[in-house]
Amino acid sequence: MGKKTKGGRGGEAASAAANPVPAGPAAGTYLIDTGTAELIDEDGQDGAWLVMVNGVQSSHVVLGRPRELAFEYMRWFAAGVESFVGAHLDPARLRITHLGGGACSMARYLADVYPESRNTVVELDGRLAALVREQFDIPRAPRVKIRVGEARAVTEGFVDGSRDVVIRDVFADAVTPGPLTTVEFFAQVRRALAPGGLYVANCGDGRGLTLARAEIAGLREVFAHVACIADPPMLKGRRYGNIVLLASDSPLPRAGDDAAAALGRVLLGGAVPAQYKDEEWARRLALGSEPRRD
């Protein structure tokens, strides 16, 4: 879920050879396990497709251009992950898990930016997973593997220390399922991460940021460092939207340092300018909020 804006980060740099364009998706409405998926050909943008799941925007794909991300929160994902990998992780050995699949937009992106990475996408809806694999130019396993399953149950089965990055982008309608927002779930993610790995989550929230405050409070019980990315109106709790949460036991950029400044410049350059807020800001935001528990 998320708002869509035209343009993307580094779309012209995508490797067409590494991501061959299939004969072409077929527009229409398809039955999936959880209802229906509609594939919409965006006539004004060559090769661009919007995926609607049960009437809600789920994913956006531009064939042959995996680095073109139309949802702004995914560009924030990308900025956060790339900043962290550059500082803490070996790009040649990345193991990335995506909880929530859709059309695998983020997995396509990271598989192209980090060609030696191994991306595992966990998707609840098996028929949706089969549909997007058939219709879109998703790299084959082991670069992008799609695993059908419920995100919480799959996470609990991960081997300790087996992931470098875990990205959560799971919604039921406009809300993240409760079992994926608790202290116990965050502890399972931390257990599955290699030491110093990164957890990234898309939190959909509205005025007052009640959900984000509770998630940050829970993350702070489990991880040493927690930070946020969002556009200014969202950070001020003025509307419904997306706030990206970052958590790790490795240090995250702090206000005033070079890493935070560099990340801030990237975020301001997007179609929807966003801001990076460090762990001190996140701590203040979460004051007085109770974390969710199972």
Strand order in the sheet with 28-32: 28-32, 35-41, 48-53, 56-62
pLDDT for residue 45 is more than 80: no
User: Domain 71-286 sits in which CATH superfamily?
Assistant: Vaccinia Virus protein VP39 (3.40.50.150)
Can you tell me the mean pLDDT for 108-122? 98
Mean pLDDT for the chain? 91
HEC profile for 91-103? HHHCEEEEECCCC
Phi/psi for 168 (5° steps) reads -105, 120
Q: How far apart are CA 248 and CA 265, in angstroms?
A: 22
The pLDDT, as a whole number, for residue 164 is 98
- What is the pTM assigned to this prediction? 0.91
| Chain segment 62-104, per-residue pLDDT in tens | 999 999 999 999 999 999 999 999 999 999 999 999 999 899 9
Q: Spell out the domain ranges in the chain.
A: 71-286
Describe the strand order of the beta sheet including 163-168 as a list of residue ranges. 144-148, 118-123, 95-99, 163-168, 193-205, 241-248, 225-230, 275-277
CA proximity to 70, closest of 32, 34, 108: 108
